[in-house]
A and B are shown apart, each in its own frame.
Chain A
């Protein structure tokens, strides 16, 4: 056997060398923006007027944001949106995965069909649904009239618009949940399913008492990822409602975009970004702690 240099390297070296590139990229790409974020959130800087005097205003951006009733409205709206879309995704996704458990001819093809919406470019999806929900020429109202309903103003009124975007978002991302749930269900050892059968459990009982509990870790990861993405959702709102009417359908993330690239209030945008990040990170940490708890028990 050739004694190459690889032999003389200790495990510690291997570990370091293997981790380093990834760590470097992550830190590099995170460090500068994150530090900038923190720094700029204490200024009233605007990228449009770099020459103008920028003042260090400490936490003023934060206090302004957190005491702005409009922002709290945005938070509530975002919360509503997130709960609605993720709720639908999880319920429908899990249900579909349930029905996909039994093998039948064409299951593979059907599965690929289910995955299609996830593969479209999000902007395109936004425009597609905007077209569908168009009050004059859209398919939605056409179908509504066919079954005897009234034509609705989907995108112009915020109480309808939220549903429109929820439908579009759930349409696009439920496949993700189906994918994970299917993987989770399939990873349950067959012996357990057979044992449940022999014990006399009905398919429903087996699903709720055995399949779901054993899939909990993966389903929770799915939930976490969907929540994170829902908070970040921008493309759909951008294409479908533009945050309107006014800013009634603007999520916090959308507001962030407007501050950063609409008004170019870089300082304020950074502060808002930090707040949003804290929320998302906080939620995730709670989840991961809880997830670790579940995995230990199983």
Chain B
């Protein structure tokens, strides 16, 4: 009775795994191809590796045009700063707001939560122009601070929602006991409740980081030379003289590795974080 179900399950899972992996493998493979090899019929699986794509992305070697004016080290640095900083702020503010939304019944609480969610509904294209104008007036264009602010904003809604969910799963008795014993709420929050939502913080940080790292729309418009992040740099391979495929693929490969590692480290926390508090954080 069970054997037949197992067979079907294995088949489906294997098929989907192949479907997920093969394009990525193809990406890595293609990043090593020279232009001719890329556009050959039939597609080549064996070839001599051509590293010009990586060279250009990594800022070594000569090709001026598509590599853009920002070296990899700079772009990488920018990406790390913006993504980490933005994630940090989003998680920090989101945790505080999520805690308040979970514990205090303040006026407009549900509306606040919906508002937080709605910030995610805005198509970046719609507001890019205005952000550009706004930043220009304040002098934040092409700054890491500006990009960091935008990153924080993009992720804040999600962070608040996830953290509220986790706080909802921590019984209020814990703070009540501490308060009765004479501790301040801040003490209860920092020393008692926060450690219990460590998983949630990891999950939130994970998501925010992934979204920030790959963020393109805002970064491209709001940065120029100094604060260009990796995705923008990679996309600049779409130069005026056609598409530098090798560079794009190489760039994609380089981009994905930190994220993959990061994800593998926090995978268990991610699963817990996805319940969004609708069912609380029970179960395994």
Contacts and interface: CB of A to CB of B under 8 A. Distances in A.
A and B touch in the complex (CB under 8 A): yes
Interface centre among A25, A266, A284 (most CB of B within 10 A): A25
Contacts, number: 276
A15 B100 contact: yes
Contacts of A235: 216-217
Interface in A151-180: 171, 175, 179-180
Interface string B107-131: 0000010111111111111111111
A127 B94 CA distance: 34
A276 B20 CA distance: 32
Given A99-B13, A124-B249, 10 more contacts: A18-B96, A29-B150, A116-B24, A138-B43, A171-B19, A183-B273, A187-B280, A218-B275, A231-B123, A235-B216
Given A124-B234, A180-B274, A277-B122, A96 B267 contact: no
A72 interface: no
The 5 closest A-B pairs by CB, nearest first: A124-B252, A273-B126, A22-B97, A187-B283, A18-B100
Q: What is the predominant secondary structure among interface residues of chain A facing chain B?
A: helix
A244 interface: no
Nearest to B158: A225
Interface residues on B, range: 35 or more
A184 interface: yes
A21 B184 contact: no
13 contacts: A23-B97, A25-B149, A25-B153, A33-B130, A99-B9, A110-B17, A115-B263, A117-B23, A121-B252, A137-B38, A203-B5, A225-B120, A260-B129
Contact of B127 (A23, A33, A285): A33
Contacts of A32: 130, 134
B255 A114 contact: no
Nearest to B43: A142
Interface of B: 5-6, 8-9, 12-13, 16-17, 19-21, 23-24, 26-27, 30, 38-43, 93-94, 96-97, 99-101, 103-104, 106, 112, 114-131, 133-134, 149-150, 152-153, 156-157, 160, 182-187, 210, 213-214, 216-217, 230-231, 234-235, 243, 245, 248-249, 251-252, 255-256, 259-260, 263-264, 267, 270-276, 278-284
Interface stretch (A3-11, A61-69, A79-87): A3-11
